[in-house]
Amino acid sequence: MNSVTAGLRSLPAVAALWLIACGGPQGNAPPVQSVVETLSSTDTQGYQRAMAPTPFAFPRDHGAHPGFKSEWWYFTGNLSTADERRFGFQFTLFRFAVAPEPPVSASAWATNQAYMAHFAVTDVDGDGFYHDERVARGALGLAGVDSAPFRAWLEDWRVTADGAEPARGCDGCLSLRVTAASDAAAIALSLTSTKPAVRHGDNGLSQKSATPGNASYYYSLTRMATTGTLRVGGETHVVSGLSWFDHEWSTSALEAGQTGWDWFSLQLSGAAELMLYRFRNRDAALAEFASGSYVDPDGGVTRLHPGDFAIEVLDAWTSPVSGVAYPAKWRIRVPRRALELEVTPRLPRQEMNTTFRYWEGSVSATGREAGRPVSGTGYVELTGYQ
């Protein structure tokens, strides 16, 4: 599970907040709503819900699902230059429906779809973290997502199919070009999936709490070979590495009493990937909700249930910007795979001070799998910390 904004009560709240933010996203950080407050919405009337598993069909399901309240396309990756200078990047496009139905209007501007994009670059060795946010309406071609050919954009931040054919028979595979630029950083990357799409949970239905419908549809492209250029501090670097693509859509997800979640995506040296998430509860009586997927090198997926893994926090870091304390080191155990990893942020300060404050950062992992040493890189997302 990959987003802070899952199951938003409504976009109006988002945009109103955003409107208050004088000077735009880069200005004074707007007050951050508590995740619980945001997610304890019952206003789902008229929207589609994720009630039961549904077969995904590609490329159609790469596109937008405007009947659901929220949706996101998440690209994260760890890259390095030829001389081993390390970077991380995040590019996310969020979609929110502000009303179940589009307005009846002859105007090309009329829409019930709003888009928000987050773009961040982590300069691991340069100790830099740059992030930016944009919002636009899903109309007039200002922002949107098309499925074939794939195209997801918000103004001039865009992800487009680059025309290269992914491997034949590779289900849901994509070959993409991601370009985004802010004043501080820019990326122009080519991403090609080397493994088919991974459907999480119950064949793509990812349950978030015990209540039916509090779930999303969720798949990932867990290993995308990446090359391209990356600019920070006025300097452009030729980079390569691995990216991870998540696509998830839902109408409501969270249960009252859940305070936030921790989410891990790790790409391991043996060409396996691991995705884990767990919800944190305020209410101790609530059952712990956690889930994961282990993807073996040839693409086989093992679904992980709450009892199948353990996450232990080893360290903490307090943001000087927000004063929020986040966990900053974990030990992950997956006994079924004889897998034990120590996961460490490659830079502590990867806090996103955007409309919603969260921590989303590049991490590295070392440990052992089936007795052999294993290492990896990935991204961790931490929400709901105060």
Partner 1 sequence: MMLARVSLRNLLRHPWQSILSMVGIALGVAVVIAIDLTNDSARRAFKLSNEMVAGQATHHIIGGPAGLDETLYRDLRVEHGLRQLWPVVEGTVRLVAHDAERLSVIGIDPLAQTDNSAIYRATRDLSATELLSTDNAALLTDATARRLGLAIPGELKVRGAGGLHRLRVTAAGKPGSALEEQALRAVVLTDIATAQVVTGRLGRLTRIDLELAGPEAVARVRRLLPPEAELAGSASRGNALRQMTRAFEINLTALSLLALVVGMFLIYNTMTVSVLQRHAQIATLRTLGVGDRELFLAVGGEALALGVLGVLAGIALGISLSHQLLGLVAQTINDLYFRLDVQKVSISALSLAKGVALGIGATVLAALAPALEASRVPPQITYTRSGQESAARSSVGRLARWALAPSAAAAVLLALPGGNLYAGFAGLFFAIFGFALLAPALLLLIVRITHRGLSRALGLIGRMAGRGVTESLSRTRVTVAALAVAVSATVGVGIMITSFRATVEHWLVNYLRADLYVSASGGAGNVDPGVIRRVAALPEVASITTARWTKLDGAAGRTQLFVLDADAAAFANFQFKHGDAAGAWPRFKSGEAVIVSEPYAYHNRRGVGDTVVLRTDSGTREFAIAGVFYDYGSDRGVVALHRDTYQRHWADAAISSFAVYLDPGVDAERFAAALERDVLAGSGLTLRSNRQLRALSMDIFDRTFAVTQVLRVLTVVIAVIGIFSALMSIQLERGREFAVLRANGFTPRQLWALVTTETGLLGLAAGVLALPLGLFLALALIFIINQRSFGWTMQVWLTPEHFVLGLALAVGAGLLAGLYPALRLARTPPSFALRHE
* Contacting residues toward partner 1, per CB under 8 A: 11-16, 19-25, 98-99, 103-112, 114, 135-137, 139-142, 153, 155-156, 181
Residue closer to partner 1 by CB (options 96, 244) is 96
Residue closer to partner 1 by CB (options 141, 307) is 141
Q: Which residue has the tokens 């991403």?
A: 191
Q: How far is the CB of 189 from partner 1 (least distance, A)?
A: 18
Six token digits for residue 57: 């069909």
Q: How far is the CB of 74 from partner 1 (least distance, A)?
A: 21
Q: Which residue has the tokens 């460490």?
A: 344
Q: How far is the CB of 309 from partner 1 (least distance, A)?
A: 39
Q: What are phi and psi of 377, to 5 degrees?
A: -130, 165
Strand bridging mode 215-232 / 70-80: unpaired
User: Residue 176 pairs with which residues in a beta bridge?
Assistant: 161, 191
Q: How far is the CB of 88 from partner 1 (least distance, A)?
A: 24
Residue closer to partner 1 by CB (options 27, 234) is 27
Q: What's the distance, CA 227 to chain centroid? A: 20
Q: How far is the CB of 30 from partner 1 (least distance, A)?
A: 12
Interior angle at CA 271, CA 58 and CA 374, nearest 5 = 145
CB-based contacts of 52: which residues, under 8 Å, 6+ apart?
Answer: 205
Cβ atoms 282, 288 nearer than 8 A: no
CB-based contacts of 317: which residues, under 8 Å, 6+ apart?
Answer: 325, 326, 327, 328, 345, 348, 349
Interior angle at CA 360, CA 334 and CA 342, nearest 5 = 30
Residue closer to partner 1 by CB (options 176, 382) is 176
Picking from 71, 77, 70, 79, the residue whose alpha carbon sits closest to that of residue 91 is 77
Q: How far is the CB of 191 from partner 1 (least distance, A)?
A: 21
Residue closer to partner 1 by CB (options 182, 250) is 182
The H or E element spanning position 37 is: helix 35-39
Residue closer to partner 1 by CB (options 180, 230) is 180
Q: How far is the CB of 17 from partner 1 (least distance, A)?
A: 10
Residue closer to partner 1 by CB (options 105, 211) is 105
